[in-house]
Amino acid sequence: MDWDKIQAQWRQEALETDREDLIGLLELRFGPLPEEVRTKIEAIQDGNALERLILVAANVPKFETFLAELAESKTAFRIVGSQYQPF
């Protein structure tokens, strides 16, 4: 068995799952996504960035705030401030 190939496959599957989760969460909270947003999310190859964006998507009250975070492409997990309060 080639463990490197297996691990690479697992990482790719995890990225795909995180992308699908992020898109699903955004659509649940904010409705259908513009195609350019979906395309940008599908292009993300950093698992940490996707996990951070999932947290952001779950906590921001406005889609515009999520878009600003998507444009920033930071990988830090710390999300603080009133713009991240979902209610």
Q: What is the domain partition of the chain in residue ranges? A: 3-84
Each residue of 25-64: pLDDT tens digit?
A: 999 999 999 999 999 999 999 999 999 999 999 999 999 9
How many Cα atoms within 13 Å fall on the side-chain side of residue 65?
19
What integer pLDDT is reported at residue 72 of this predicted model? 81
Cβ distance 29 to 23 under 8 Å?
no
Confidence of residue 77 (pLDDT cuts 50, 70, 90): very low
Residues 45, 15 contacting (CB under 8 angstroms): yes
pLDDT at residue 21 is higher than 60:
yes
> Is the separation of the CB atoms in 57 and 66 below 8 Å?
yes
Segment 8-13 shows an average pLDDT of 92
Mean pLDDT rounded to a whole number for the chain: 88
